Structure 1
Amino acid sequence: MSQEKKELMNRALSAMTINIGKAAVNDNVIEEIKRQLKANEIVKLKFAKNVAKNKDDYINEIVQKTRSKLVDVRGHVAIIYKRQP
């Protein structure tokens, strides 16, 4: 594991968690993720079991729309990062 990834994983321990539930990914969820990335640079996304089967598609959509970077996925939790200037 690279040093940068280790640092991001440590920061993720205290990162804001956004729950993705039965409403899945919509514009409101994307806007909230963007706000959290702007404020904290790193966000955890926790997927409910009923939407977890599509989580890879949702993660790709979120990363694309927020212009962020996927750090890690473990179980139903994904960590994304976006460096702020």
Structure 2
Amino acid sequence: MSQSKKEMMNRALSAMTINIGKGGVNENVIEEIKRQLKANELVKIKFAKNIARDKDKYIDCIVTQTKSKLIDVRGHVAVIYKKKP
């Protein structure tokens, strides 16, 4: 693991967590993730077990729409990053 990824994972421990429930990802969820990325750069996204099988599709959608970068996925939790402007 590269040093910068290791640093980001350490920062992710205290990052804002957004829970994605059975409703999946909609425009309101995307807007909240954008707000959190702007404020914190790192956001953890936790998927409910009942939609976890579709998490890869949701992650692709989130990363594309927020113009962020996927840092890590562990279990039902993804960590994304977007550098502050």
TM-score, length of structure 2 as denominator length: 0.99
Moved >3 Å (runs of 4+): none
Q: Which runs of 5+ in 1 are unaligned?
A: none
Question: Counterpart of 1:72?
Answer: 72
Q: Kindly report which structure 2 residues correspond to 1:30-45, keeping only aligned pairs within 5 A, or say none.
A: 30-45=30-45
Cα offset for 1:35?
A: 0.1
What CA RMSD, in Å, does the superposition of the two structures yield over aligned residues? Answer: 0.4
Cα deviations across residues 5-59 of structure 1 (Å, max 9, x unaligned)?
0010000000000000011000000000000000000000000001100000000
Question: Counterpart of 2:7?
Answer: 7
Question: Counterpart of 1:60?
Answer: 60
Question: Counterpart of 2:47?
Answer: 47
Partners of 2:54 and 2:30 in 1: CA distance? 16
Q: Please tell me the residue identity of whatever aligns with 2:42.
A: I
TM-score, length of structure 1 as denominator length: 0.99
Cα offset for 1:4?
A: 0.7
